[in-house]
Structure 1
Amino acid sequence: MRRLPAAFVAMALALAAGPAAAEIRALIVAVSKYAEPIPSLEGPPNDAAALKGLLEEQGATDITSLADGQATRSNIRAALEALGKRSKPGDWVIFFYAGHGAQAKSRDPTETDGMDEFMALGGFRVTRPDTNQYILDDDLRGWLVNFFPTTVNVLQIADACHSGTLNRAIVAPTPFKKRTALDNPMAISLPPSPPDPARLPPSKSDPPNLVYVGAAQDNQFALEGPLPRGDSPSRGLLTYALEGALKDRRPNGNLVSDLDNNGQLSLAELASTLESRTRELSSTQQWSSAAVPARNERSVIFQPLKAPPADERPIEVKPADDAAADLLGGRGPWASIPRGTPDLTWNAKEGWVTDSRGDRVAENLKTPEQLTGVIMKRRAISQLAGSANERQVKVDIGPRPKGQLYKNGESVDLAVTHRGGAAYLTAFNLASDGTVQMLYPLAGEGEGLMGAGQSRVVMARTKAVAPFGVDNVVAIVTPAEPKALRAALRRIDGKRDAMVAAGLVRDELDQAKGQAAMALGELYTGP
């Protein structure tokens, strides 16, 4: 893409301040075994083990785990009620669910969309469902409200989905599976729930102690797949992103997800990071949802985990034709593998490159130098994704829905929305082969100053042009005019210097000490 010249089902939360002796307690539910026609999953046991280890590193000792056949409605209800009785004011209770989420036609006339969202538990059957094999959203909400007083903080994490549509054209087999029981919710007819005094009807307001983090937006599927590599164990993207948010660090030792670089990871920072990380991991097929009220945005739950060792392995590339096999025999930032699950697959004769998710990330790529640009761009975006603060600044790409393909010559609208004080906007594009393309401000567009409050800058209309594949728009807002950053970006404009551009942005964020913010936008183009 090149700039044309231009003149959760979310719940509210509020967190009570707790005493020094406050504890983290948890109920972890993982369901992977299902009866046909619902596909079984591979990731929930791995997610549950990872989360249990994470919580133990946070000092948690009161952890209850339920899996598959143990994960029944009655057992989950009893476990939550018992946690409520053990909890003290100021404690954190984590309720985690990994498995299939689903929808069915509702019998409740107060459901505005006419559908019930529910968790499909172990043994759930599509025909003649047993009421002990699923939990409706209203039932779960009632348990969390009635079993936990407002002095106890509850964080619900759902690495599952309810419904949605994938807008993307996948050109190769994808390793990701959807965590939804059936695509057609009308295929499921649920019997009435058993009488339950703790059940609550739908409500527009929730108690101040309830926090919800969902794996995906309402119109998306939550995904699982091999992470971080194609031959890795299957993981849910949300849980994997949560681990990364607690491990990946800046050069000064602070977490990359600590957006204001003050040494603490707030709930607002965590929510923003999870959204950008799940979107990057899934190539815009999924991004998480969460709600953090303004008065509690700086509340802290998790402390940093031990940083992972540096990943120094080369990118694994599998040739799809003889020409690619010959070219990969030379030196470069890759390891050529003849079989197995690679990071990238390259067909040099036809010029395309696909990633492990099945997306065609580059077109008309014929040389090792171009392949090097793709690899460096991939690393640059991975570094930047953890620092994105999309609650403060957001890149909007239209007019198509997110994730859809723009063909050669089609118009693309780019806009940036910013919340906060007056700030200066700088934006550039990283094309599919890592080429840096300055977008804003160009000559004649002034200093790029955005007013205080919520403001929107439309960076004019662009067109999808070569090089085709996955483009990434990078927008950064700064409290002062970033003259040095802009000058450096202009020097590398038109060059395959993605890692240099990423380094410039990260340095600017560090120097601003939390007063700057950055966001990413993905654009998919093709001939």
Structure 2
Amino acid sequence: MGNSELVSSRFKGRKKALCIGINYFGQPKELRSCINDAEHVRAFLIQYYDFKYEDIVILADDRENPRQQPTRRNIIDAMYWLVKDARPNDSLFFQYSGHGGQIKDLDGDEVDGMHEVIYPVDFRNRGHIVDDEMHRIMVKSLPPGCRLTCCHSGTILDLPYIYSPNGRLQSEKITLQAERLKAAPADVISFSACEDGQKSVDTFKRGLAVGVMSYAFIKSLTKNPNQTYQHLLSDLRNISYPKYTQKAQLSSSHPIDTRWKFAI
């Protein structure tokens, strides 16, 4: 699969975003920063990338409206909303801040033998959401030339192509089965907070709890919006590692030239 699909993404179509923040109030391992992350990312997209308030959905567990709670059902419904009627040149954005984890891979498409999962607020009763399901909904359904940019912890969209800090493709992390099953013509780019198996952490900035990944992503692009994918990945790593002992990752649905300018 070549790079022509990425070139055809002109970012002139509709912009939509889904931001999810789960603090797990009253549950074991309650978090502090995730709802703040979702709010900060929404404000960032509106201010710097011309997203409209009404085209951004936030699911967070401080909402009174049951439909805005980050339950398993609502998250899946919102994913379908995000990609509904997607067309070439549309720009979609997905952000998740909350607990994630790993389960054993039984279909052989993971190099490390583990699937990544996210935990909705009601996961104890309704279960987790596996990366394969998220990939099916939000990656495979998109047409060529449609951009989906993701910002989250772990490689939860199950994109097959992963890049090193120097911008080179890490071929050892791609199984032939993963390449066959997970590669897609849509223009999907994912920046994740850490390597699979690492823990994404909270920190405090200006008195507010924030996730390191969302903080680094917003800080880097606010400071320098005209940078390449390679430079952005390097900057995210410089901000988050080694102070926070996590290494940002870049992955994609098909091979890309990381020397191109980052765009949303």
- TM-score interval, smaller chain: 0.7 to 0.9
Report which of the two has the higher share of strand.
1
The 5-angstrom pairing of residues 422-437 of structure 1 reads: none
Higher Rg: 1
The 5-angstrom pairing of residues 205-284 of structure 1 reads: 205-208=182-185, 209-228=187-206, 232-248=207-223, 255=224, 264-279=226-241, 283=243
Q: 2:17 aligns with which of 13, 18, 26?
A: 26
One-letter amino acid of the structure 2 residue matched with residue 94 of structure 1:
F
The 5-angstrom pairing of residues 261-410 of structure 1 reads: 264-279=226-241, 283=243, 285-291=245-251, 293-295=255-257, 297-301=259-263
Cα distance 1:24–1:297, how it changes in 2: closer, same or farther (>3 A)?
Answer: farther
Partner SS, residue 146 of structure 1:
coil
Structure 1 unaligned spans of 5+: 1-11, 163-201, 249-254, 259-263, 303-527
One-letter amino acid of the structure 2 residue matched with residue 104 of structure 1:
I
The residue aligned with 1:39 is 29
Q: Does the 8 Å CA contact 2:86/2:143 hold for their aligned counterparts?
A: no
Residues 486-518 of structure 1, C-alpha deviations (whole Å, 9 max, x = no match) = xxxxxxxxxxxxxxxxxxxxxxxxxxxxxxxxx
Q: 2:139 aligns with which of 115, 139, 145?
A: 145
Q: Compute the TM-score of the two structures, normalised by the length of structure 2.
A: 0.75
Quote how far apart the aligned CAs of 1:46 are: 0.7
Q: Compute the TM-score of the two structures, normalised by the length of structure 1.
A: 0.40
Cα distance 1:53–1:220, how it changes in 2: closer, same or farther (>3 A)?
Answer: same
Residues 195-224 of structure 1, C-alpha deviations (whole Å, 9 max, x = no match) = xxxxxxx72351141211110123421111
Quote how far apart the aligned CAs of 1:266 are: 2.5
Cα distance 1:243–1:295, how it changes in 2: closer, same or farther (>3 A)?
Answer: closer
Partner SS, residue 83 of structure 1:
helix
Quote how far apart the aligned CAs of 1:144 are: 1.6
Q: Does the 8 Å CA contact 1:160/1:214 hold for their aligned counterparts?
A: yes
| RMSD between superposed Cα atoms in Å | 2.8
Q: Does 1:15 align with 2:6?
A: yes
Residues 116-141 of structure 1, C-alpha deviations (whole Å, 9 max, x = no match) = 3200111222xxx524xx21011111
The residue aligned with 2:163 is none
Matched residue pairs, number?
Answer: 228
Partner SS, residue 268 of structure 1:
helix
One-letter amino acid of the structure 1 residue matched with residue 194 of structure 2:
A
Partner SS, residue 263 of structure 2:
coil
Partners of 1:299 and 1:65 in 2: CA distance:
28
Q: Does the 8 Å CA contact 1:238/1:274 hold for their aligned counterparts?
A: yes
Q: Does 1:59 align with 2:50?
A: yes
Partners of 1:220 and 1:239 in 2: CA distance:
16
Q: Does the 8 Å CA contact 2:5/2:144 hold for their aligned counterparts?
A: no
Q: Does the 8 Å CA contact 2:6/2:256 hold for their aligned counterparts?
A: no
Report which of the two has the higher share of helix.
2
One-letter amino acid of the structure 1 residue matched with residue 37 of structure 2:
D
Quote how far apart the aligned CAs of 1:13 are: 11
Cα distance 1:60–1:103, how it changes in 2: closer, same or farther (>3 A)?
Answer: same
One-letter amino acid of the structure 1 residue matched with residue 249 of structure 2:
S
Cα distance 1:107–1:295, how it changes in 2: closer, same or farther (>3 A)?
Answer: closer
Partners of 2:111 and 2:258 in 1: CA distance:
29
Cα distance 1:20–1:79, how it changes in 2: closer, same or farther (>3 A)?
Answer: closer
Q: Does 1:50 align with 2:47?
A: no
Quote how far apart the aligned CAs of 1:59 are: 0.8
